[in-house]
Amino acid sequence: MNPFHSSPQKRPRDAGDTDGAMPGASRPDPSAISLPPVAAAFALQRASVAAAAPRVGGATLPLTGLPTGAAAHGPLRVLHILPSLDPRMGGVAEAVVQLVRHMAPLGCTSEVVTLDAPDGPGFDRVDATVHRVGPGRGFYGLSLPLVRWLRENRTRFDAFVVHGIWQFHSFAAWCGVVGTRTPLLVFPHGMLDPWFQHTYPKKHLKKRVYWALLERWVFDRANRVLFTCETELELARRPFLTDRHRLAVNGFGIDSVPADADQQADAFSEAFPSVRNKRVLLFLSRIHEKKGCDLLIDAFADVAPHDPDLCLVIAGPSEPALLGQLKSMAASRGVADRIVWTGMLAGALKWSALRTAEVFVLPSHQENFGIAVVEAMASHTPVIITNKVNIWREIEMAGGGWVCDDTRESVADALRRWALETPPAARSTMRDTAFACYQRHFRIETAAGHLVGSVSLASSSRRR
């Protein structure tokens, strides 16, 4: 296991423009800006909010910067901009779903605009009006209709919030606010992680060019760049950001486990009878090369012969070619009959799988936040993750799980310790500890409150 390491935080200078011009004009320090009166008291307890308050350049914002009701001018109106709400696109879509739902009780009205096709499949999970102005052209999503829509509708909103980068929707947001004082907030969701720079050097070279030509204008114009955790913020400094960018840890999380999860506890074993009465080790995520599934299969093959009740469940969508490679690997290691491949799990079946698992395992080489990790802890299931999952520090400190390196030997050691050396009573105790970690660090209500506070701060500055 790796010890907890804390890195000194460096306070960046606050700079950039606020009026939609090209970057260069200076901004005031956000800690020196007072917020307008709010119409409702903060919904979360002061102590829990203070413990997770957003950080700008390493300095915690005062609690008064986190309003949760409508400001004096009325409810806040926020537009969330992202490429797609398709759940297969990963965590960005789920982030918008969760944030929109929990910003509403805090006096914030949200709308969403995407490049999904108007006549495409519907995604009705969002508690907000959704404008589908796509499809964009190609993977990049070039869309002049999106730019026109943003410019025609910008006066209706107190702020634009961009989710994800490196596609046209983020530059379209800049086009939508340029020449105005409409606040722009950018939520990269891990897309500035230097792991991509080292793993895909050719793609990174393209990104350097794209940054110089277009993306940097988005960040230079941003009133604030938001991150899900401290580790993501620190990693993001390396490839592209400078001290002139205004950075803040907004935090992130998930809603509580559905109330009927206990009643549906047997749904997973009924759907997949081979897991019944087994010790289930669960991987639940998109199956991708960065997720370390090959490490997990190798590590499981080392441990499985020592306990016939161990069962590995690998759940998630995958490209057929990669799935075939992983299944061939499992066969060559002699554990093909000990692994259950379920495909993508959702709804009651997903929550039942998380409850059924003895431990959740995510041996990623890079992971910005890991929503499924938090979902596991919210389900009282401990986790084994690598120190490349950016929330590993919070989890290790709170005892929500174990942390290892992203190597076969380290993952195998963690599985061996859990499956063969940890007494049942200790494993049971860790279920409560995992849930306490979720409660302390990863409740979506806190993250939604921070985002509302950032919008209110930016909006009040515009009205001065």
Judge if 396 and 456 occupy the same domain: no
Judge if 46 and 186 occupy the same domain: yes
Contact call for residues 101 and 255 (beta carbons, < 8 A): yes
Nearest by Cα to 12 from 367, 366, 249: 249
Q: What percent of the chain has pLDDT over 90?
A: 65
Judge if 274 and 382 occupy the same domain: yes
Mean pLDDT throughout 14-28?
35
Judge if 335 and 190 occupy the same domain: no
Residue 21 in any domain: the answer is no
Residue 12 in any domain: the answer is no
Give the position of tokens 């995604």.
123
Judge if 421 and 450 occupy the same domain: no
Judge if 180 and 327 occupy the same domain: no
Q: What percent of the chain has pLDDT over 70?
A: 82
Q: Model confidence over 155-199: pLDDT tens digits?
A: 999 999 999 999 999 999 999 999 999 999 999 998 988 877 777
Judge if 298 and 416 occupy the same domain: yes
CA torsion 145→150→151→156, rounded to 10°?
140
Mean pLDDT throughout 408-426?
96
Judge if 453 and 417 occupy the same domain: no
Average pLDDT, rounded, for the chain: 83
Nearest by Cα to 253 from 5, 47, 50, 450: 450
H helices of 104-156, where?
144-153
Judge if 230 and 329 occupy the same domain: no
Q: Model confidence over 111-169: pLDDT tens digits?
A: 999 999 998 777 778 889 999 998 999 989 999 999 999 999 999 999 999 999 999 99
Residue 341 in any domain: the answer is yes
Residue 17 in any domain: the answer is no
Residue 190 in any domain: the answer is yes
Judge if 224 and 347 occupy the same domain: no
Residue 394, helix vs strand vs coil:
helix
Q: Is 385 exposed, middle or buried (0-12, 13-18, 19+ CB in 10 A)?
A: buried
The HSE-up count of residue 262 (CA atoms within 13 Å, CB side) is 3
Domain hosting 429: range is 267-441
Angle at 382 between CA 379 and CA 387, to 5 degrees: 125
Mean pLDDT throughout 283-288?
94
Angle at which helices 91-103 and 444-463 pack, to 10 degrees? 70
Residue 15 in any domain: the answer is no
Nearest by Cα to 128 from 168, 164, 93: 93
Contact call for residues 326 and 293 (beta carbons, < 8 A): yes
CB atoms within 10 A of CB 13: 14
Judge if 243 and 156 occupy the same domain: yes
Count up the domains in the chain and report the number: 2
Task: State the pLDDT at residue 373.
Answer: 96
Judge if 87 and 230 occupy the same domain: yes
Residue 417 in any domain: the answer is yes
Task: Give me the CATH number covering residue 247.
Answer: 3.40.50.2000
